Structure 1
Amino acid sequence: MSDDGPNGSAIDRLRAAAGDRLGVDRRALAAFRIGLGIVLLVDLGLRARNLTAFYTDAGVLPRAALAETYPLAARVSLHALADGPLAVAALFALAGVAAAALAVGHRTRLAAAASLALLLSLQARNPLVLNAGDLLLAHLLGVGLLCPLGSRWSIDAVRRDGGASGTGDRSGGAGDRFVGPASTLLLTVTVVVYASNAIVKLRGAAWTTGDAVGRVFRLTYLHGPLGGLVPEVPGLLSVATYGWLGLLAASPLLVLATGRLRAALAGVFVAGHLAMPFVLQIGVFPLVSVVGLLPFFPPAVWDRAERRVAPVATRVGGVVRAPRSGPSGPGSVARRVAAAGRRAAPVVAAVLLAALLCWNALAIGVVATPEPVAAVSDPAESGWDMFAPDPPTTDRLVLATAATADGDRVDALYGDVVAADRPPTEARAYPTARWRKFLTLLADSPEPTRTRHLLGHLCDRAGGRADAAVERVEVSFVSVDVVDGETRVASLGERRCDRR
């Protein structure tokens, strides 16, 4: 039957509806690409503050300990081949170059592939400091490889158009929308995170009774710069609890809705995530989440954005020139490889989409985990259970004390002078979100080898900051129940610093 008949018209309407919901504006992909590059640079900068501590043999997880605890990670990590701070710093710099190239769209697929490989290598070098933001960043970057991230607002686009602005005249047109399994996968990743988290939260008591947000803000070890200033107003905190839970439950509308409703919902999510770093110390997760939301914004948003960036794009187009490449030169080979990749991308995306949905169904318990899968992995361990089903009820702080030869006491993590006999009330939060992740994991499972490496690193860390030689270090954890105020102190251990 001809497409001009009733059935054809219905099919056309169905395709249009699917395209509106599962397609992504190519300018949104460009913003997504720029955001990924920026987040990768921010992540590298934050990690670089503790480069020696977390990624070298002088830190808390030397390569021998990594190989013993995580043999697969040790084999696949390029960073595990680096034997000192300079070599690791060189890999950080290489990752920074790749991230910058991704942000500006220079050889975009190569930059994305290099960024993903270096990110996974860095994450494998120390799995003990990873959080949900790291997993989400790897997911988004991997899916981005299957999408035409460099088709707009990029150096690649400018060169492809022969030195034009790279914005073209396709604003808002059908040809400016990327639709297929890869676009569906990109949108689904973000929705799965929110929907899975909502389902797990609904199984707890704190979220359904309105207590969760108030409980989170009583955990001082999670406080961001303004975390301690959040007012203790039960009604307001209860509204925040129900509001965030309702937003998570409504997250499927990010795909099911279109136009202003989708834009408004994505905008509220973005606003919530942008507020998080000010009140919570949770690493790059909020920024990664914002980047993951960019593909949901409709063409009208990008029409305005394009008008604003047009003058800059025009100037860039005047500087960047299309590369010269003969029909049989290297450029031709690269084009053939790129064409093969574009043909394979939809198939790969469809397989990954099915795997994503199945794995998360197992993780939240909607489907029972098959015995063969359970024998090698627990899907629940990689689920999106942030503050779910209930937030912790224990504020977990640390006392890391170094004793010097002249009788002073120095905080081994922060480096400042502290009381000779530090009471539990002087316990402190953690210098960074990654230190918190590492130390709280160690508090839950005080593994002797890991403890020994931590104490050895703290000897060196404190010795570099103290005026006199450091003789010994000791670490204790202080737990304060935020409900009844009960305080418990548990010693992790101590070590003489002249023993190697």
Structure 2
Amino acid sequence: MSVRLVARAGSDARQWFERRFRVDTRALAALRVALGTILLLDVLLRARHLAAFYTDAGVLPTSTLRNVVGTPALLTIHALSGSVWLQVCLFFAAGLAALALLIGYRTRLATLLSLVLLLSLQIRNPFVLNGGDTLLRRLLFWGLFVPLGERLSVDATEATDSTPQTAVSGLATVGLLGQVVAVYAVNAVVKLRGDAWLSGRALALVFDLDHYTVLAGDLLAPVPLLPALLGWSWLALLVASPLLVGLTGRARGALAGLFVAGHAGMLVTVWVGLFPLVSIAALLPFFPAFVWDRVWAVVPDGWDRWSASRLDGHAVGTIPASVRRALGGLRRPLLILVLAAMLVSNAATLGVAPVADADVPEQSWDMFAPAPPGVDGWFVAPGTTTAGREVDALATAPLSWERPSKLERAYPSTRWRKYLLRLRSGDTEPRRAALAGFLCQRWNRTHERGLERVGLVFVAEPTRPNGTDPQRREALGTYSCRSATEKGNSRVSPVPR
């Protein structure tokens, strides 16, 4: 009798697990397409500031990277050279890998290459990253262990002799789904540690941050009670996020749909880069079969044939069986190790587990938590030319302390905003000096009269949702440009005070 009870309990546990961590292969196909598209967008958006962020002529030369992060950071592919040509080649390679992932050509290899290139790029300049970048690389990691190319892919259409597989489950799907739930659950806990979200003031404070707020955010901010209601609704969703794996069927699909709607709202209200798109992509595996039945109804015949990955087929023919067995034996321990690391990482974010101090900002899931930033503002780089003219070296324009009419336009991109705002705290002197050197060189290359010196100033506006935001100037340093006049030399000297 006891043996039967144990067997039945084991069977019930397996069924419970299967129902909650089983992912439709069509959802994985949608995830693959989304990841490939996002990676392509990421490459294109980063390419606008390729020289500024990833070369020795930019704001973080390899010498500064070594000083701030340490020698191991120089072992990445993107840090092998500080020249523009290497970055162009690597960006092009990342674009090709992303395109291969999007169409599902040699999907696992494309996923691996995309992950390696993305991780190398992020290590090359970790000071322009946000939580979406962290989530993106983790989605790519878990994607290595699930059949992203099983449906709607080149791999699928070229190999049609395998047994149909409708869904998959295992440690990899636990990691894929669990990572997303961890993002929301940790963010909920951090938000609940303050009173901004519970009181309903948080979203009003976010909408008062003009360097974040765009489009519909400006329209929603003055509507009475609406920011509070939207903030409470989002907080309630975050608190309920464990139900993404606790629920099944239509209930799970409805909850995932609410999260998607929330992130779609972010796209038209706050300027946070690709974070909302990455989050929406991460939610796709939670949608159950009935959703994909409707989506697949519009897929043309012949586009979606069952297959095992063509990459697997090629691997069988080229890799010895003993090596494949050894690699297969490492899969389970590796996934268990990564799952454990994920738990420890999130526990450290909440302060439950200790974490070592680091100069590199590892991304946590604390977006606008426990409260939104209390300071708005923009940067000015007052400089003096050899002719005695005062200019703004950051805006490459005559010096002006007037508030920009559209504050978000004071930053060339969300990554520039992230990099600049991080200069306000901590021991950032090496990076401030490198930025000053970049500004000196950029100005001197394009102007007849070079710069003698340049300063860094943040014009801060403490947020006041119901009143005028006061201004104060935070001086971050003044630097001589004389040592930055040589081509390729981004070093500057601080001006004595």
TM-score with structure 2 setting the length: 0.86
Task: Tell me, in whole angstroms, the C-alpha distance in 2 between the residues paired with 1:274 and 1:335.
Answer: 47
Tell me the equivalent position of 2:477.
Answer: 493
Matches within 5 A, 1:343-354: 343-354=329-340
Contact kept in structure 2, 1:410 and 1:462, CA below 8 Å:
no
How far 1:363 moved relative to its partner?
2.2
Would you say the 8 A contact 2:31–2:284 is kept in 1?
A: yes
300 and 463 in structure 1: CA distance in 2 versus 1, 3 angstrom threshold: farther
Deviation at 1:158, TM superposition (A): 2.1
| Structure 1 stretches lacking a partner, 5+ long | 163-167
State the secondary structure of the residue aligned to 2:200.
coil
Residue 11 (structure 1) shift: 4.5
Deviation string for 1:374-404 (max 9, x for gaps)? 4566999643111111111111321234555
Residue 268, structure 1, aligned to residue 258, structure 2: yes
Q: Counterparts of 1:395-414 in structure 2 under 5 Å?
A: 395-402=376-383, 411-414=392-395
Give the Cα–Cα distance (whole angstroms) in 1 for the partners of residues 60 and 450 of structure 2: 24
Whether 2:392 is the aligned partner of 1:393: answer no
How far apart, CA to CA, are the structure 1 residues paired with 2:452 and 2:444? 9
Pairs within 5 Å for 1:224-303: 224-303=214-293
**Separation in 1, partners of 2:84, 2:363:** 30
| Offset of residue 266 of structure 1 | 0.8
Amino acid at match of 2:412: P
- Which of 421, 425, 428 is 1:440 aligned to? 421
Match among 207, 211, 215 for residue 205 of structure 2: 215
1:228, CA displacement in angstroms? Answer: 3.1
How far apart, in 2, do the equivalents of 1:230 and 1:186 lie?
34
Letter in 2 for 1:431: P
Label 1:234 to 1:411 Cα distance change in 2 as closer, same or farther (>3 A): farther
Alignment CA distance shift 1:177-1:414 (3 Å): same
CA distance in structure 2 between the partners assigned to 1:255 and 1:431 by the alignment = 39
Distance in 1 between the 2:58 and 2:360 partners?
30
- Taking only aligned residues, the RMSD between alpha carbons, in angstroms, comes to 3.2
Given that 1:180 and 1:346 are in contact with CA atoms closer than 8 Å, whether structure 2 keeps it comes out as no
Amino acid at match of 1:299: A
Letter in 1 for 2:401: R
Higher alpha-carbon deviation: 87-96 or 189-198 = 87-96
CA distance in 1 between partners of 2:443 and 2:215 (Å): 25
Tell me by how many angstroms 1:410 deviates.
Answer: 5.3
- Change beyond 3 A, Cα 1:398–1:467: same
Deviation for aligned residue 1:58 = 0.5
CA shift, 1:95, in A, is: 1.0
CA deviation after TM superposition for structure 1 residue 8, in Å = 5.3
Distance in structure 2 (CA, Å) of the matches to 1:446 and 1:81 = 26
Q: 1:165 — aligned with what? A: none
CA distance in 2, matches of 1:404, 1:276: 42
Residues 86 and 238 of structure 1: is their aligned pair in 2 closer, same or farther, counting only changes over 3 Å?
Answer: same
- Tell me how far apart the structure 2 counterparts of residues 10 and 210 of structure 1 sit (CA, whole Å): 45
Partner of 1:28: 27
Aligned to 2:60: 61
Give CA deviations for 1:115-140 in whole Å, capped at 9, x if unaligned. 11111110111111111111111111
Q: 1:467 to 1:91 in 2, by over 3 A?
A: same
Matched, 1:476 2:476: no
Alignment of 1:57-456 (within 5 A): 57-161=56-160, 170=164, 175-311=165-301, 313=303, 332-334=317-319, 336=321, 341-365=327-351, 367-369=352-354, 374=355, 382-402=363-383, 411-415=392-396, 417-418=397-398, 420-423=399-402, 428=407, 429-445=410-426, 447-456=428-437
CA distance in 1, matches of 2:297, 2:326: 34
Q: CA–CA distance in 1 between the matches of 2:353 and 2:5?
A: 43
Aligned length: 475
Give the partner amino acid of 2:259. F
Aligned equivalents of 1:239, 1:469: Cα separation in 2 = 53
CA contact (8 A) 1:219 1:394 kept: yes
